[in-house]
Structure 1
Amino acid sequence: MRWRIHGERQIYDNPWLDLWLVDVEQPDGHRYEHHVIKLRHLAVTALLDEERRVLMLWRHRFVTDTWAWELPMGLIEDGETPEEAAAREAEEETGWRPKSLRPLVYAEPANGITDAEHHVFLAERSVWTGPPTEVNEAERLAWVPLSEVREMIRRREIVSGATLVGLLALLVDQAAPGS
């Protein structure tokens, strides 16, 4: 059943997000204003090495005041493709430049409230270019064996939605016959 939009108006904007009120009508005829958060889209890279390890960043998120492991990720800049952003962010945050990327999974993490898109790519080959140039992203980096990822998720050492979606897709991808 499709909801009908009668109009929308922006009530807040900044470079990170826009907040809109959308005049929406549900299929049963109920009509109201629904808040919608419009976000810049996100590119994520799972860098995998020959030993089936994935490069992860140990970082603090001040909003939840938590530490956890994440894949390198960042916002897609104007004029940039998701793949270009994924490669740029991976190199800036880790010092590793992907030699090639392929789409791994696409997700809309909370499409009932936001239009955010998460584009996750897999890099099976990368080259070290030097220390990360983005110094505010992570306390440390580590190549984490894929065999440890499930337990890290259970222990809540990996909690980022984009990272979870990417790693779970990677585990499925790697477990598939012919992978």
Structure 2
Amino acid sequence: MANKEALRDLQQRLAQRLQTVQTQADSQSWLAVLVGRDHFLLPLSQSGEIFPLTAIAHVPYTQPWFSGVANLRGGLFGVVDLQRFMDPQAGARDEQALAQARLVTLNVELGVNCALVVDDLQGLRRAEVFKSNDAAAALAPAYFGCRFQDEQGVAWQELNLQLLSQTSAFQEIGA
């Protein structure tokens, strides 16, 4: 009888711990990046690994924002210049900007072997560091999530990488 009660107590404690872990995992966390002069939040659950900007093999007859392909840990990834994708008028980066640039891969669960060029990493952010948030502007792309403002007054735009990777404009790399 005591063994049954002990087992039941153990099951209850495990269920409570599992619920606590799931609640903590559900809280929003992002990788904060700089793209051009804009601040973006990439959901950690949709982001993959971070790499220094490496040799990128150019692919002919592609959109200007498609930088080419890169070998990252033995896998081939299409490389998208996020700044040029969102702003086709954006110019090329100078050498100093290229030295700071990083590649952020999309999470393998999204099913897209893609890396995004970002200008700088700004660290990790949790929802608690922002003092306000608003819905994306009415004319914003579908992959824009909420807009946040931190305590220093900096505006941050959330990017839903899953929606981004599913847009037809993102998938059509041919020129």
Pair member with larger Rg = 2
| TM-score (norm: length of structure 1) | 0.26
Greater share of helix:
2
